[in-house]
Amino acid sequence: MHWNLDTPGALLAVISIFGFAFSALIFVIDARINRITREMKPNGGTSMRDVLDRIEKQNEKLEEQLDHHITWHLEKKGD
């Protein structure tokens, strides 16, 4: 494809088109980054961060229960 950019108007048009496309790309990227950033902040239950916090809390409870259960078996074995 040959670009005929002999006139300042044609050059300005091509630069404007590329500038618009670049601006649109930056807008889309910024919107996606903002969406991801919102998911990483707690908001009362629906963000990904809230879900991860609940999973971590549940995991801690399970670890405590497992430790208690193992201790119970070890103590029972010693009797």
**pLDDT of residue 1 exceeding 80:** no
What pLDDT score does 58 carry?
Answer: 98
Report the C-alpha gap between 79 and 76 in whole angstroms: 5
Report the C-alpha gap between 7 and 51 in whole angstroms: 58
- Which residue is it, tokens 């908001």? 43
What pLDDT score does 48 carry?
Answer: 94
Q: Write the pLDDT tens digit of every residue in 5-57.
A: 788 888 899 999 999 999 999 999 999 999 999 999 999 989 999 999 999 99
What are the structural domain ranges in the chain? Answer: 1-39, 44-79
Show the tokens assigned to 48: 């990904």
Single-letter amino acid code for the residue at 37: T
pTM above 0.75, yes or no: no
